[in-house]
Amino acid sequence: MKIELRNIEFAYDKNPVLRNITGVIDPGEFVALVGPNGSGKSTLIKCINGILRIQKGEVLLDGKNLKSYGTNRLSQKMAYVPQTEQKAVPMNVFDAVLIGRKPYIRWKPTKQDLEITAGILEKLNLAPVAMKDVTKLSGGQQQRVFIARALAQQPEVLLLDEPTANLDLKHQVDVLKLLGSLTRQGITVIMAMHDINLAAMYSKKVMMMKEGRLFASGGNEIFTADNVEKLYDVNVETIHKNGTVYIVPDRTQSI
Ligand SMILES: Nc1ncnc2c1ncn2[C@@H]1O[C@H](COP(=O)(O)OP(=O)(O)OP(=O)(O)O)[C@@H](O)[C@H]1O
Ligand SMILES: [Mg+2]
């Protein structure tokens, strides 16, 4: 699904947060949304999926205005994993993921719904805990359940707000690899992320946000020391290893 953002403006009660955001995201792109706390990443994600209504501009999905999509149809196209820790409701992991099938279920899940759910649990290494109460899992495991639920929607676009925030390094890498494999199947992935090195390693496109504006966007090559310094107001240095550039805070300049 192609996503076009045209001069988007959004304000919470007259407090402008997004200003003149314009950009195109093609099907199957892996986009990292980066920028300081409060720069508007979560707000932009919620404007793309229609949770928040933009005051000016347009969001076009495959050329059609977002407003023209009904809720069910939109949920079959787009899934969202929010940033804030979702309060898990007591139920087993299988059922928690099966809820993702809701946009497809008429009054009871079909065999196909159950099979899709089981397949996703296996893919995300959740099969061993499938019958466990989701509220009894660790924060990281719960996060994977929420990602699994979003995948059960079989979306064309997956929006994730800091999907790796609660995860240990192995699971961060696992999730990023999984997201990468989804993009190779044509699913568009847009994720807000704080770890710029992991973002640079796994995503293919970057949108840098600062104070509600698109500070820069492009391929991973825009992760330059200069851009990162201006984006976060912090001195950095670069480490070059095997053709990859890593950006780390410049310790000699820190307080
Ligand atoms: N529900 C809300 N009501 C009023 N203001 C809000 C609300 N949510 C966010 N804001 C404000 O909008 C701005 C952007 O917030 P947003 O959550 O989009 O930033 P973010 O880039 O996702 O930050 P973080 O990296 O901390 O998650 C901030 O100034 C924030 O205070
Ligand atoms: Mg946020």
Task: Give the tens place of pLDDT for each residue, 161-172.
Answer: 999 987 889 889
pLDDT at residue number 254: 55
**Ligand 1 touching residue 193 (CB < 6 A):** no
pLDDT at residue number 139: 79
Helix (H) or strand (E) holding 196: helix 196-202
pLDDT at residue number 86: 66
pLDDT at residue number 255: 53
Helix (H) or strand (E) holding 71: helix 71-77
**Ligand 1 touching residue 17 (CB < 6 A):** yes
pLDDT at residue number 41: 97
Phi, then psi, of 55 in degrees rounded to 5: -90, -30
Give pLDDT tens digits for 108-162.
Answer: 999 999 999 999 999 888 999 999 999 999 877 888 899 999 999 999 999 999 9
Q: Which residues of the chain have pLDDT under 70?
A: 84-86, 254-255
**8 A C-beta contact, residue 190 and residue 182:** no
Distance 250 CA to ligand 2 centre (A): 25
Domains of the chain and CATH, by start: 3-223 (3.40.50.300), 224-255 (no CATH)
Mutate which of 14, 33, 41 for ligand 1? The one with the most ligand atoms within 8 Å of its CB, which is: 41
Name the pTM for this structure: 0.93
Going from the C-alpha of 6 to that of each of 34, 43, 89, 131, 207, the distances in angstroms are: 19, 15, 37, 45, 15
Ligand closest to the CA atom of residue 16: 1
Give pLDDT tens digits for 224-233.
Answer: 999 999 999 9
Q: Which tokens hold the place of 48? A: 């793309």
State the pairing for strand pair 30-34/188-192.
parallel
Q: What atom of ligand 1 comes closest to residue 209's alpha carbon?
A: 21
pLDDT at residue number 84: 65
Cα–Cα distance measured from residue 8 to residue 169, given in angstroms and rounded to the nearest whole number: 35
**Ligand 1 touching residue 42 (CB < 6 A):** yes
Q: What atom of ligand 1 comes closest to residue 194's alpha carbon?
A: 25
Question: Within 13 Å of residue 237, how many CA atoms lie on the same side as its CB?
Answer: 6
Cα–Cα distance measured from residue 209 to residue 231, given in angstroms and rounded to the nearest whole number: 8
Cα–Cα distance measured from residue 223 to residue 217, given in angstroms and rounded to the nearest whole number: 10
**8 A C-beta contact, residue 213 and residue 20:** yes
Q: What atom of ligand 1 comes closest to residue 44's alpha carbon?
A: 18
Cα–Cα distance measured from residue 223 to residue 124, given in angstroms and rounded to the nearest whole number: 30
Cα–Cα distance measured from residue 49 to residue 40, given in angstroms and rounded to the nearest whole number: 14
Cα–Cα distance measured from residue 196 to residue 33, given in angstroms and rounded to the nearest whole number: 10
pLDDT at residue number 51: 94
Cα–Cα distance measured from residue 79 to residue 8, given in angstroms and rounded to the nearest whole number: 21
**Closest Cα partner for 245 from 227, 164, 177?**
227
Mutate which of 10, 43, 166, 195 for ligand 1? The one with the most ligand atoms within 8 Å of its CB, which is: 43
Going from the C-alpha of 213 to that of each of 19, 34, 41, 232, the distances in angstroms are: 5, 12, 10, 14
Cα–Cα distance measured from residue 254 to residue 55, given in angstroms and rounded to the nearest whole number: 40
